[in-house]
Amino acid sequence: MAEMTPDISDRRRQLASLTDTGIEQAERLQNFLPRLSDAYAHLFTELDINLNALIERTSAALDETPITERIKLSDPNADLTGRNA
């Protein structure tokens, strides 16, 4: 669905472009996205939660205090190196 070609001006880079099949699939996806959005909206209403807003709030909270800091706050002796003591 995509093909990679070297960037002539910068050999460190690869340029990605959609193949004809990739373009076709992207168009199909664009037509499907509104239906998917509606399905999620109905689900969130049923669950009485706005998951997108919750994810944004969670992300903002983690930006303010990363999970590693939260672990330290809950257990100051926690080993965050992944090694067993």
Q: If DSSP states are collapsed to H, E and C, what string results for the chain?
A: CEEEEECCCCCCCEEEEECHHHHHHHHHHHHHHHHHHHHHHHHHHHHCCCHHHHHHHHHHHHHHCCHHHHHHHHCCCCCCCCCCC
pLDDT tens digits, residue range 8-58?
999 899 999 999 999 999 999 999 999 999 999 999 999 999 998 999 999
pLDDT of 83 over the 90 cut: no
pTM of the model: 0.50
